[in-house]
Amino acid sequence: MTSAPFDYAPLWPAGLPAAAAKWTGLARYSFVGGNNDAEQVPVADLTAAAVSVLTREGHMLATYGLASGPQGYLPLRDFLAGKLKRDAGMTCTADDILIVSGSLQALDLVNHALLARGDTVIIERDCYQGSINRLTRMGVNIVGIPLDGDGMRMDSLAAALTELKAKGIQPKYIYTIPTVQNPTATIMPDSRRRELLALADEYGVPVFEDDCYADLVWSGERPPAIHALDGSGRVIHIGSFSKSIAPALRVGFIVAPWPILSRMLALKTDAGSGALEQMVLAEYCVPHFATHVPQATRGLRAKLDTLMDALNEQFGTAAEFEEPKGGIFLWVKLPDNVDAMRLSQAAQKAGVSINPGPEWSVDQRHAHSRIRICFASPTHQDIRDGIALLADICRTEFGVPERIANVAQAKG
């Protein structure tokens, strides 16, 4: 007996996000997503770490939280406390850290602990798409602050805080990605971090610091985390192993004072993030993290060079960008007549995926002709071939860039 398929549509609650599209695989030339270089994943050492820790402590998988409590595997939290002190200048202990399932869960926990519909938050004008989408779905009012070569502009932040105060609006937090900002890849200098903290203190606003890309600085040296400069406990700090080790591991962390951390822990209803991943990471990171990251960033830096060379060759002066000091993405400005959304759609049909700028900004007009290009995952040859194809598509759709022959002549 056959019957008509059951109709779930009448059961959908109001406000449910649009249905997800079915996975159809990556594009031939994929320049989207926070994916890593497959060759840089330390498979052999991760394998050895898994065998070692499972042989020694595998029986602990029988206990939720590996008998380390709901905040996560204690050896991993101990490693993070030491790493954050060494690399970011932060003073924290394992008790200040909550292990989560990637930085996206960290975003959700912070938002659900602090925000309600109608609240106001301050974020960078060009910002991580996941942050913007989450705030929009929650019905939160977003105030975007322009950036320059040193990150979020403090004059604009001060003006926004003054204006909100005059209206009687108290923002719930200031969200920033200060170290390798997404998508602009800027790094906020120490002095500006202190200015941000001073403004946050003056107006009584917490700071939400997203440090997910901070390990990927070419020089290996970064300014201290904003958390490290704060003595009041107003900074919530999140990070991840997704960019430094592998995104599919889905391990991130939150560092915050117990009054707010305890609230987020109560909202974390998954009975703990994946224990095996935590065990393997702790076993691997203690002996290998400090040497793995410089090797990985050297590979990323080489791919960035290939990408910039390809853009200069194929687009000439039609593609404007600032050379980043780290990260996995390049924020590119194309001529004003280029519609990045339309370019993205045409490119996708031809097998090239890019992030259109309007999806990564709270000011879609400002980002109308900008695109984000992720360079970590494709091979060097795929970068060259994919950018050449993208230039052909852009030329067909918008008449730019000029023909390569003309670009070559212009270079003399």
Residue 376 falls inside a structural domain: yes
Residue 68 falls inside a structural domain: yes
Kindly give the confidence (pLDDT) of every residue in the chain, 412 residues in length, as a single tens digit, with 9 standing for 90 and above: 678 899 999 999 987 888 888 888 889 999 998 888 999 999 999 999 999 999 999 999 999 888 899 999 999 999 999 999 999 999 999 999 999 999 999 999 999 999 999 999 999 999 999 999 999 999 999 999 999 999 999 999 999 999 999 999 999 999 999 999 999 999 999 999 999 999 999 999 999 999 999 999 999 899 999 999 998 999 999 999 999 999 999 999 999 999 999 999 999 999 899 999 999 999 999 999 999 999 999 999 999 999 999 999 999 999 999 999 999 999 999 999 999 999 999 999 999 999 999 999 999 899 999 999 999 999 999 999 999 999 999 999 999 898 654 444 443 3
Q: Do 238 and 301 belong together in one domain?
A: no
Q: Do 301 and 201 belong together in one domain?
A: no
Residue 403 falls inside a structural domain: yes
Residue 30 falls inside a structural domain: yes
CATH number at residue 363: 3.90.1150.10
Q: Which domain covers residue 275, as residue numbers?
A: 43-288
In the 3-class helix/strand/coil scheme, how is the chain assigned residue by residue? CCCCCCCCHHHCCCCCCCCCCCCCCCCCEECCCCCCCHHHCCHHHHHHHHHHHHHHHHHHHHCHHHHCCCCCCHHHHHHHHHHHHHHHCCCCCHHHEEEECHHHHHHHHHHHHHCCCCCEEEEECECCHHHHHHHHHCCCEEEEECEECCEECHHHHHHHHHHHHHCCCCCCCEEECCECCCCCCCECCHHHHHHHHHHHHHHCCCEEEECCCCCCECCCCCCCCHHHHCCCCCEEEEEECCCCCCHHHCCEEEECCHHHHHHHHHHCCCCCCCHHHHHHHHHHHHHHHHHHHHHHHHHHHHHHHHHHHHHHHHHHHHCECCCCCECCEEEEECCCCCCHHHHHHHHHHCCEECEEHHHHECCCCCCCCEEEEECCCCCHHHHHHHHHHHHHHHHHHHCCCCCHHHHHHHHC
pTM for the complete prediction? 0.94
Q: Do 266 and 219 belong together in one domain?
A: yes
Q: Do 233 and 88 belong together in one domain?
A: yes
Number of compact structural domains in the chain? 2
CATH number at residue 234: 3.40.640.10
Q: Do 276 and 306 belong together in one domain?
A: no
Give pLDDT, residue 14.
85
Q: Do 187 and 239 belong together in one domain?
A: yes
Last-in-domain residue among 253, 269, 288? 288
Q: Do 183 and 326 belong together in one domain?
A: no
Give pLDDT, residue 385.
98
Q: Do 284 and 351 belong together in one domain?
A: no
Q: Do 114 and 241 belong together in one domain?
A: yes
Q: Do 164 and 308 belong together in one domain?
A: no
Last-in-domain residue among 288, 317, 349? 288
Q: Do 87 and 236 belong together in one domain?
A: yes
